[in-house]
Amino acid sequence: MNHTIELKSEHLHSSFNKEYKPILIVRSGDSIEAKTPDIQWGYSAHESEERTIYSSRENEATLGHPLIGPIAIEGAKPGMVIEVRINETIPGWYGRNWAGGTPAWQNHMLGIADSERLKVDWKLDPEQMTGSCTLSGKNFSVALSPFLGLIGLAPGVPGMHRTSPPYRTGGNIDCKELVKGSSLFLPVEVEGALLSFGDGHALQGDGENSGTAIECPMDCASLTVILHPEMTLNMPKAKTPSGWVTFGFDEDLNQAAATALDEMAGLIQQFHAVSKTEAVALASVAVDLHVTQIVNGVKGVHAILPHGAIR
Helix locations, the chain, DSSP H:
104-110, 253-272, 276-286
pLDDT for the residue 112: 75
Residues of the chain with pLDDT under 70: 59-63, 101-109, 115
221 three-class SS: strand
Sorted by where each begins, the domain ranges of the chain are 2-92+146-232, 97-141, 242-306
Any residues with CB less than 8 A from the CB of 270 and at least 6 apart, and which? none
Residue 200 CA from chain centroid, whole number: 8
Q: Which DSSP helix (H) or strand (E) runs through 183? A: strand 183-187
Domain 242-306: CATH superfamily is Acetamidase/Formamidase-like domains (3.10.28.20)
Distance CA 235, CA 288 (A): 18
Q: Give the number of residues written for the chain.
A: 311
What residue type is assigned to position 92 of the chain?
G
Give φ, ψ of 11 to 5 degrees.
-105, 10
What does DSSP say about strands 67-73 and 24-26: parallel, antiparallel, or unpaired?
A: parallel
Tell which residue, 136, 26, 138, has the closest CA to residue 74. 26
pTM of this prediction? 0.95
Quick one: residue 128, left, alpha or beta (phi over 0 = left, psi -120 to 50 = alpha)? alpha
- Rounded to 10 deg, the angle between the 253-272 and 276-286 helix axes is 110
> Do 213 and 97 form a contact (C-beta atoms < 8 A)?
yes
CATH topology of domain 2-92+146-232: Jelly Rolls (2.60.120)
pLDDT for the residue 15: 94
Distance CA 132, CA 123 (A): 5
Quick one: residue 273, left, alpha or beta (phi over 0 = left, psi -120 to 50 = alpha)? left
Tell which residue, 142, 114, 118, 15, has the closest CA to residue 66. 15
